[in-house]
Structure 1
Amino acid sequence: MMRSLWTAASGMVAQQANIDVVSNNLANVNTTGFKKSRSDFEDLMYQTIRQSGTATGADTQLPTGIQLGSGVRQVATQKIYTQGPTQSTGNDLDMTIEGDGFFQITMSDGTINYTRDGAFKRDEQGRIVNSEGYPLEPAITIPEGSSNIAISSDGRVSAKLAGQTASQELGQIQLVKFVNPAGLDSAGHNLLKETAASGTPVASDPGVDGTGTIMQKYLEMSNVQVVEEMVNMIVAQRAYEINSKAITTSDTMLEQAANLKR
């Protein structure tokens, strides 16, 4: 019965972690480019009381054994990189990636982070930057007074400069992809960092090597499905309650055993 207390307690801890993941998904239901996470669990060590296949006679053996588990633990939280729905904004610098690619963002220390958030703006220098003010990589500057900003599906940025009648190409957006995007580390601010598990980024122009194409004046919204997350929350809540009930039941049995009299 002491084993059952610890086993059920591990189930409660695991379901609390599950609720934490679901809550973060729901909190980011309106976050541009957000990708939902999923909790992965695994069972813990087993104590083998009787080993399967043990000989019970000259020509017989145990068809099954006895193993007692010790609970569960959260082993991973995996981001699910399915495409989110697109929303028309009419903003010239809003972009959606239709495919598996990521935008590159240059941080203040010179390192490169990655994002699916295509809500870009212009800073005081005319550079295309994200909402935190970090520039897109490769850097693209749109001069003051430019009009008719256009971004093609293959990432070419062009605009009519002040005093000119024809559009001029200003730069080329590049996207990157990873062998294992689920291995990227979330850094907050809609940014992701490369890790050993994600593999090294492979950069190319949009539409090449499966990185996806760009849609101007659209944003990719969160891929969180509220109904799905609510169902996950209910399942986690009921599992938590069942494990707490197992603890209560084990405690009652221990109490009865402790109160036995000769």
Structure 2
Amino acid sequence: MMRSLYSAISGLKAHQTKMDVIGNNIANVNTTGFKRSSVTFATALSQSIRGAGTPTPASGTAPSSTGGDTGGTNPIQIGLGTSVGAINQIMTQGSNETTGVPTDMMIQGNGFFALQDGNQVVYTRSGAFSFDAQGYLVDPSTGAYVLDASSTVPQGSTTASPKYIQVPTGDTYSIDATGKVTAYKDGAVDSSAGGNIGIALFANPAGLTSIGNNYYLPSNNSGDSGATTPDNPTLYGIGATSNYPTGTSLVTGSLEMSNVDLSQEMTDMITAQRGFQANSRVITVSDTLLQELIDLKRS
């Protein structure tokens, strides 16, 4: 009975964590570039009542015709509950929301925008950018600068030798599907301005660490930001190198929305709620049984 109590407590904690993750997913259903998370459970340590029994006939030998041999027996174990095995970020593509704002961008395919936020490089799928008073392309919510593809980000580092994208006041501009920003002055190309929007690639995007503001940092399990070689650690320009994934493009005038599926989250919430209720019931029944034992002692 005590085992059932502690197993049920572990179930309550695990399902509470699942509810926390579901609540965060639902809260960010309209957050630009948000990636939902999912929870997987793992069994806790099992207590062995009896180990496995070895068959008495030697391997490949038939049991004796005169009797006395026994077959093998399986172990007897009692599980001691559950735990949270993993909380995984699901990095699938979010839906396209057309805004008509030319500095709003969506990566269709793999990759992350790279931004210089203070003294560190951060990565995001949210392309809600604008030009600031000096003509630099920035994230208006934080002031972080969007990095040009020629910016160097040494492998294993979050600092960069940055190059920013600037369109001087009075110039017009265009942004194409490869992320090339072209500035025009008096109808002619202004070669001193513009740039190419840098894209970072990670071997394991789900291994990135979320730090808020739709930003991520590399972790020990995400890989580096896709630099071609340690001697040439630049960001990618879409389609600029032979090893850049095919089928990836930049959609301007659009934003990538959250990949949260409300119907899936509501279903998961129901199963988490029922799991929590069932574990609560186990605690109630175990308490009743303990009370019965106490009453036997008193009688």
Alignment TM-score > 0.5, same fold: yes
2:208–2:218 contact (8 Å) kept in structure 1:
yes
Query: 2-side partners of 1:227 and 1:125: how far apart?
Result: 44
Partner of residue 195, structure 1: 219
5+ long unaligned stretches in structure 1: none
Partner of residue 290, structure 2: 254
Query: 2-side partners of 1:61 and 1:256: how far apart?
Result: 40
Query: 2-side partners of 1:73 and 1:144: how far apart?
Result: 57
Shift of 1:61: 3.7
Partner of residue 40, structure 1: 40
Which deviations, in whole Å up to 9, do the C-alpha atoms of 1:2-26 show, x marking residues without a partner? Answer: 0100000000000000000000000
Query: 2-side partners of 1:189 and 1:87: how far apart?
Result: 19
Query: 2-side partners of 1:174 and 1:156: how far apart?
Result: 9
Shift of 1:53: 2.9
Which deviations, in whole Å up to 9, do the C-alpha atoms of 1:56-88 show, x marking residues without a partner? Answer: 895224432210111111132111010000011
5+ long unaligned stretches in structure 2: 58-67, 149-163, 227-234
Give the 3-state SS of the residue equivalent to 1:14 in structure 2.
Answer: helix
Pairing of 1:1-262 with structure 2 (within 5 A): 1-54=1-54, 59-109=69-119, 111-130=120-139, 131-138=141-148, 139-147=164-172, 149-161=173-185, 164-168=186-190, 170-202=194-226, 203-207=235-239, 208=241, 209-210=244-245, 212-260=248-296
Code of the aligned partner of 1:128: L
Give the 3-state SS of the residue equivalent to 2:22 in structure 1.
Answer: helix
Give the 3-state SS of the residue equivalent to 1:259 in structure 2.
Answer: helix
2:117–2:143 contact (8 Å) kept in structure 1:
no
Runs of 4+ in 1 over 6 A off after TM superposition: none
Query: 1-side partners of 2:78 and 2:72: how far apart?
Result: 17
Query: 2-side partners of 1:55 and 1:48: how far apart?
Result: 19
Considering only aligned residues, what root-mean-square deviation do their CA atoms show, in Å? 1.6
Identity of aligned residues (%): 42
Shift of 1:166: 2.6
- The structure that has the greater radius of gyration is 2
Which deviations, in whole Å up to 9, do the C-alpha atoms of 1:197-224 show, x marking residues without a partner? Answer: 1011113111351172111111000000
Which deviations, in whole Å up to 9, do the C-alpha atoms of 1:147-178 show, x marking residues without a partner? Answer: 2x2111111101322xx113445101121111
Give the structure with the larger strand fraction.
Answer: 1
Query: 1-side partners of 2:12 and 2:95: how far apart?
Result: 34
Q: Cα 1:78–1:22, aligned 2, differ >3 Å: closer, same or farther?
A: same
Q: Cα 1:260–1:55, aligned 2, differ >3 Å: closer, same or farther?
A: farther
Count of aligned pairs: 258
